[in-house]
Amino acid sequence: MKTNSVLQSEDKVDITPMIDVVFLLLIYFMFLPLQQEADIGIKLPSDTPPAENLELPSEHIVEIFPNGLILLNGAPMDGVNDREMVRMTSTLTRLKLSSDRAGIDTVVKIQADPDSPHQRSIDVLNVAANADISKVSFASYSD
């Protein structure tokens, strides 16, 4: 009879500590992914409307060559010795008025050859001032 009670006591295994460990592991693995995702800092897109198209300025390129020739957007303007440049003044004035009607700024970019006379650059600046264009910039000459 004694052997029977020994066998019965060995068959009983207390699983309470194992259940506690399983619950602790379950809780640990449930909260671990949430904590990692919170550290990423991803910003989701919102319901804001897209930005309006930005109007680019109306840019006109003036090229000055060593012989004094001036091109406005690739078209030759006035003579090489003409300091008043009436044709270029009227063309830039029309372009400025057209841009103003569209609500766009007018920009003149001067690309002067390093060997060109500096007086021609001054002439172009005077023409821009006569056409009421205040945004003028110089760019490096490209062949």
Closest by Cα among 69, 51, 75 to 120:
69
Sign of CA dihedral 7, 9, 10, 13: positive
pLDDT of residue 10: 62
- Name which residue leads in pLDDT, 33 or 35: 33
pLDDT of residue 65: 93
Q: Percent of the chain at pLDDT above 90?
A: 38
> Residue 7: pLDDT band by 50, 70, 90 thresholds?
low
pLDDT in tens, 99-139: 888 888 899 999 999 999 999 999 999 999 999 999 999 98
- Across the range 5-24, mean pLDDT stands at 77
Alpha-carbon separation of residue 140 from 64, 111, 113, 136, 143 (angstroms): 11, 6, 8, 14, 10
pLDDT above 80 (res 51): no
User: For domain 58-139, which CATH number applies: 3.40.50.920, 3.40.190.10, 3.30.420.270, 3.30.300.10?
Assistant: 3.30.420.270
